[in-house]
Amino acid sequence: MNRFSILLARVMVTGTLVAAAIIAVGLLWYLSAHSSELPGDHIFRGEPKYLENPVQMARRAFEPGVVGERRSLVMIGIFLLLLNPPIRVFLAGAGYWMERDRLYAVISAIVFAVLLVSFFL
């Protein structure tokens, strides 16, 4: 393996571990506060509108009145987990470009564009 492949692997593993740690802390915090409540899953309420796409989810998680809520920490972790693939594809494309492998750089750019479009729709 060359240095760039190792860098890509480290970025992916580190991003996944950081996101998982944030989700775990948020989940433990949420469960510590809501462990005595009965589940209300017998009534279907649907998902909140802000969970429809990652951009709205991140906007909601970082709103001044919401930051510090238990669910916002879990949402931030999920958002970071969703950011991992686009970051990896972007870095792979940049690495291919620096290695002068134009075909794979263009393919990576197309995949990155598809990921960005799907992120915002």
How far is residue 86's CA from residue 116's CA, in Å, rounded to a whole number? 7
Predicted local confidence at residue 52, as pLDDT? 67
Please choose, from the candidates 79, 75, 23, the residue with its C-alpha nearest in 3D space to the C-alpha of residue 47.
Answer: 75
Residue 73, pLDDT score: 77
What pLDDT sits at residue 83? 86
Sequence ranges of the domains in the chain: 3-33+49-120
Q: What's the pLDDT at 103?
A: 92
In angstroms, the CA 74 to CA 23 distance is 5
Q: Which stretches of the chain drop beneath a pLDDT of 50?
A: none
pTM: 0.70
Buried/exposed 12-23: b ≥16 CB within 10 Å, e otherwise:
eeebeeebeebb
